[in-house]
Amino acid sequence: MASSSLDNIEHTFAETDAEQVKAAADAIVDARQTYVLGVGINHTLASSFAYLADMALEKVVAIPKDGGLAIDDIARAGPEDVLIAMTFKPYRADVLEAVESAREQHVTIIGISDSPASPLVAGVEHGFVVHTESPQFFTSTIAAAALLETLMAFVVADASPDVIENIGRFHDRRVALGIYRDDIAD
């Protein structure tokens, strides 16, 4: 499992251009709203990215929202917005439907999938192919998680200085509220 995971990460990053990641990060930073779409195994990835990004930008949301449909969540999206969407074989129809709707609404799309021929990556402004091979039955998402962490790092690096201040304020508030424990020995 470890070898497969490392291979997926190495192959993904060997085939990913830093300028491409920077361009996608710039789109997120400049967006009015960024929607992060992941269902099934990708739901946790979308939620994690939105959680971290929201600390910095306060304009990133994971979709679909509880009990809703992704296509409904992007109904008001437009050219000033970004949709990050991910799906792997077998490609989820609800994700592809939401991406098609976003295209019609002129939303900037960042697609993450497992093949350059994926209907999610083909024809989007920012497409990323991640390796998902695994010795088990389930698709590996470790390379997708690594790519999203890298994209988040680029977002923070390319954003204005107030982004770092936002993260600091968020963290300081959590400390003040006693959310963290520092009385536990290592």
Which CATH number do you get for residue 95? Answer: 3.40.50.10490
Calculate mean pLDDT across residues 86-107.
96
For the chain, give the mean pLDDT: 92
Tokens for 147? 């790519």
CB 73 within 8 Å of CB 47: no
In a domain, 180, yes or no: no
- Dihedral-angle region of residue 106 (phi above 0 means left; psi in -120 to 50 means alpha; beta otherwise): left
CA 76 to chain centre: 20
pLDDT digits (tens, 9 = 90+) for 106-159: 999 999 999 999 999 988 999 999 999 998 888 999 999 999 999 999 999 887
User: How buried is residue 120: exposed, middle or buried, by Cβ count under 10 Å (0-12/13-18/19+)?
Assistant: buried
Total count of domains within the chain? 1
How high is the pLDDT of residue 32? 96
Calculate mean pLDDT across residues 91-120.
96
Q: How far apart are CA 158 and CA 143, in angstroms?
A: 22
**pTM as predicted:** 0.91
In a domain, 57, yes or no: yes
How high is the pLDDT of residue 162? 83
In a domain, 121, yes or no: yes
In a domain, 168, yes or no: no
Calculate mean pLDDT across residues 31-58.
93
How high is the pLDDT of residue 185? 64
How high is the pLDDT of residue 186? 63
In a domain, 181, yes or no: no
In a domain, 95, yes or no: yes
How high is the pLDDT of residue 42? 95
- pLDDT band per the 50, 70, 90 thresholds, residue 47: very high
Structural domain for 134, as ranges: 2-159
Which helix (H) or strand (E) covers residue 70, if one does? helix 70-73
In a domain, 27, yes or no: yes
In a domain, 173, yes or no: no
Percent pLDDT > 90 in the chain is 72
